[in-house]
Amino acid sequence: MADASFDEIRQYVQDRTRLSFSGHKLSLFQKKLQQRVEELSLSGLSAYKDILLASPSEESALLDSITTNETCFFRNPRQFDYLRTHILPRLEEERGNASFRRLAQGELSGNLNDMRLRILSAGCSTGEEPYTVAMTVLEGLRYPRAWDIQIVAGDLSECCLEIARRGFYETARLKGIPNKLLTKYMDNSADGATFKEEVRRLTRFMRLNLNDVMRGDSFPDTSSTEPFDIVFCRNVMIYFSSSCQQQLVDSLYSIIAPGGYLFTGDAEPLHLFSHDFTPVREAGCLIYRKTGSNAHGQTV
Q: Do 38 and 83 belong to one domain?
A: no
Would you say residue 8 lies in a domain?
Answer: yes
pLDDT in tens, 96-127: 776 656 656 666 544 445 688 999 999 999 99
CATH label of the domain that carries residue 281: 3.40.50.150
Residue 100: inside a domain: yes
- Mean pLDDT over 163-191 rounds to 96
Indicate the residue type of 101.
Answer: R
User: Is 211 part of any domain?
Assistant: yes
d(CA 33, CA 252): 31
Picking from 66, 87, 114, the residue at the C-terminal end of a domain is: 66
Buried b (16+ CB within 10 A) or exposed e, 150-168: bbbbbbbbebbbebbeebb
pLDDT band at 180 (very low <50, low <70, confident <90, very high): very high
Do 98 and 62 share a structural domain? Answer: no
247-274 as b/e, with b when 16 or more CB fall inside 10 Å? bbbebbbebbbbbbbbbbbeebebeebe
Number of domains the chain contains: 2
Residues 100 and 46 in one domain: no
Let me know if residue 160 belongs to a domain: yes
219 falls in which pLDDT band (50, 70, 90)?
Answer: confident
State whether 182 and 127 are in the same domain: yes
Distances (CA, A) of 41 to 9, 52, 252: 18, 14, 41
- Mean pLDDT over each residue of the chain, to the nearest integer: 89
Domain boundary among 66, 87, 104: 66
Residues 160 and 188 both lie in one domain: yes
**Res 1: pLDDT:** 41
Q: Are residues 233 and 84 in the same domain?
A: yes
**Residue 243 included in any domain:** yes
Window from 77-86, 216-225, 267-276 with minimum mean pLDDT: 216-225
Domain end marker among 66, 96, 115: 66
On whether residue 296 sits in a domain, the answer given is no
Rounded to two decimals, what is the model's pTM? 0.88
CA angle 184, 158, 209 (to 5 degrees): 105
CATH code: domain of residue 9: 1.10.155
Instruction: Mark whether 159 and 21 lie in a shared domain.
Output: no
The answer to whether residues 252 and 130 belong to one domain is: yes
Instruction: Note whether 240 and 131 are same-domain residues.
Output: yes
Tell me, yes or no, whether 299 lies in a domain.
Answer: no
156 shares a domain with 96: yes
**Domain interval for residue 56:** 2-66
129 Cα distance to chain centroid: 8
Render pLDDT for 6-39 as a digit per residue (tens, 0 to 9).
999 999 999 999 988 887 889 889 999 999 999 9
Q: Are residues 87 and 35 in the same domain?
A: no
My answer on whether 81 and 56 are in the same domain is no
Q: Is residue 167 part of a domain?
A: yes
